[in-house]
Amino acid sequence: MTAVAKSEKAQIITQLRELFGERCALGQTIRDQHGKDVSFHPTCPPDAVVFAKSTQDVAAVVDICHASSVPVIPFGTGTSCEGGIGAISGGICIDLSQMNAILEVNTADFDCRVQAGVTRKQLNAELHGTGLHFPIDPGADASLGGMASTRASGTNAVRYGTMRDNVMSLQVVMSNGEIIETGGRARKSAAGYDLTRLFTGAEGTLGIITELTLRLHPLPEGVSAARCGFPSLQTAIDTVIQVIQTGIPIGRIEFLDELQVAACNRYSKLNLPEVPTLFFEFQGSPASLAEQVEMVEAIARDNGGSGYAWATTPEARSQLWQARHDVWWAALALRPGCQGIPTDACVPISMLGDAAVAARRDVLELGLTAPMCGHVGDGNFHLCIVVNPDDADEMTRAAELNARLMRRAIRLGGTCTGEHGIGYGKLDFLELERGPSMHAMVAIKKALDPRNIMNPGKVLRVTDRYDTFQ
């Protein structure tokens, strides 16, 4: 905690224990669990964890912490990648996982209202039988509040967009404990500042999301999936670019390089040819599916694609996409006992080939283990750098690889993060990407969180250095 907060630490925790009883946890194991995400970032445990059950619980904790300028860190499921949940300045973690009620499902209007702790799989299970689904799929069964906070996307983004496109309104607890609503259920609005978009992607640095109103989508009439191998990374990427530029309304298009395919074969018990591979999913009516399949198969064949194979049953499709979702764990299994550094570059689709080929060249030059995958239909790809954190030289090379990837993406007109967010792991790259617009971000942060208690140290640095930012 801050110097002021340390002197009041015992008093604050006493207040929280009086309010929440055993729901204010002080044990080291629980605190460690809430200070570590899935990546290599070190554990930064909070001083206490409060398990909230309502928006009023969250507001009560924030109100107490605001009075003494104590940091507050929101926690969903802990599946973030850039240190966004670490209590790097100490403070109180608010776990929202017990706020998991689905409050409304409005099938006629294609929307729903949920508490922040509801996970995407839980929501889709509730929607079973309605003919609707929530398509944003980052892979992990993340909480919807966390997905909004990091502006998550995933495999379906090429068709359905990201959380930015599917969040209609938020309930947010501000830094002083005030509760606000950012929007409504209308399909469009021109009323005032777009606060919903402001908090979507803010990673808990401006307020804590406690409820969400989300856009739902009709289930497609038909679904078909396929995979295809290619002679090189470039020919696979060329296929992606041509499919997108042709305007084929594809549902999903995912890339795995040959090392990632080998890792998936071992981890998911598959037997895929170990070559650069694309996974496709087609959605629509039978006639539309047939047309999409024919066009994509022709493009793939023109680029040297082979081994075009269909997953026609729901079970086969699930196996294929589960293997794609498990790429992180499959990559880590290549070097048991090691950890992963997840990278996350996104570039204009026409620049995808240049970025991916250069990234592969950097991996070889630096002598690292780093399989590649990506939601390449929207220009987003990842390297999972598998490292021994006790090997200082390897960690230095990994940092260099990540830096090259980020700088190149920005130089090509892209971004240092398509979906993982900034946390504290990408502060330098955000400054490089956004330049003088950091002035505006800091001004917003200071206005909405003047005591800098909301997940401090993440997304941006609140210092006077931006007064002279060049």
Residue 125 and residue 72 in one domain: no
Residue 196 and residue 324 in one domain: no
Q: Look at residue 124 in the predicted model and tell me its pLDDT.
A: 97
Least confident segment among 9-13, 20-24, 130-134, 386-390: 9-13
Task: Give the domain-ending residue among 218, 236, 268.
Answer: 218
Q: Look at residue 318 in the predicted model and tell me its pLDDT.
A: 83
Residue 231 and residue 166 in one domain: no
pLDDT tens across 305-336, in order?
998 888 777 888 888 888 888 899 999 999 99
Q: Look at residue 468 in the predicted model and tell me its pLDDT.
A: 43
Residues with Cβ within 8 Å of 21's Cβ and at least 6 positions away in sequence, in order, are: none
Least confident segment among 57-71, 150-164, 311-325, 437-451: 311-325
312-322: buried (b, 16+ CB within 10 Å) or exposed (e) per residue?
Answer: eeeeebeebbe
- Report the CATH number at residue 169: 3.30.465.10
Residue 398 and residue 283 in one domain: yes
Residue 3, pLDDT above cutoff 70: no
Residue 314 and residue 459 in one domain: no
Task: Give the domain-ending residue among 184, 218, 252.
Answer: 218
Section 131-136 average pLDDT: 96
Residue 352 and residue 384 in one domain: yes
Q: Look at residue 309 in the predicted model and tell me its pLDDT.
A: 84
Is residue 231 one of the residues assigned to a domain? Answer: yes
Residue 272 and residue 331 in one domain: yes
Is residue 461 one of the residues assigned to a domain? Answer: yes
Is residue 416 one of the residues assigned to a domain? Answer: no
Top-confidence residue, 6 or 50: 50
Predicted model pTM: 0.93
Residue 123, pLDDT above cutoff 80: yes
Task: Give the domain-ending residue among 203, 218, 233.
Answer: 218
Q: Look at residue 7 in the predicted model and tell me its pLDDT.
A: 63
pLDDT band at residue 6 under the 50/70/90 scheme: low
pLDDT tens across 162-186, in order?
999 999 999 999 999 999 999 999 9
Q: CB-hemisphere CA count at 13 Å for 310?
A: 11
Residue 371, pLDDT above cutoff 60: yes
Is residue 421 one of the residues assigned to a domain? Answer: no
Contact present, 143 and 165 (Cβ < 8 Å): no
Residue 153 and residue 20 in one domain: no
Is residue 53 one of the residues assigned to a domain? Answer: yes
Is residue 404 one of the residues assigned to a domain? Answer: yes
Contact present, 65 and 1 (Cβ < 8 Å): no
| Highest-pLDDT range among 167-176, 222-231, 461-470 | 167-176
Residue 237 structural domain: 222-411
Residue 364 and residue 352 in one domain: yes
Is residue 420 one of the residues assigned to a domain? Answer: no
Section 440-453 average pLDDT: 96
Residue 246 and residue 318 in one domain: yes
Q: Look at residue 290 in the predicted model and tell me its pLDDT.
A: 87
Is residue 349 one of the residues assigned to a domain? Answer: yes
Among candidate residues 128, 155, 127, 151, the one with its CA nearest the CA of residue 139: 155
Top-confidence residue, 317 or 75: 75
Per the structure, the count of domains in the chain is 4
Residue 269 and residue 376 in one domain: yes
pLDDT tens across 53-65, in order?
999 999 999 999 9
Residue 201 and residue 311 in one domain: no
Q: Look at residue 465 in the predicted model and tell me its pLDDT.
A: 46
- Report the CATH number at residue 29: 3.30.43.10
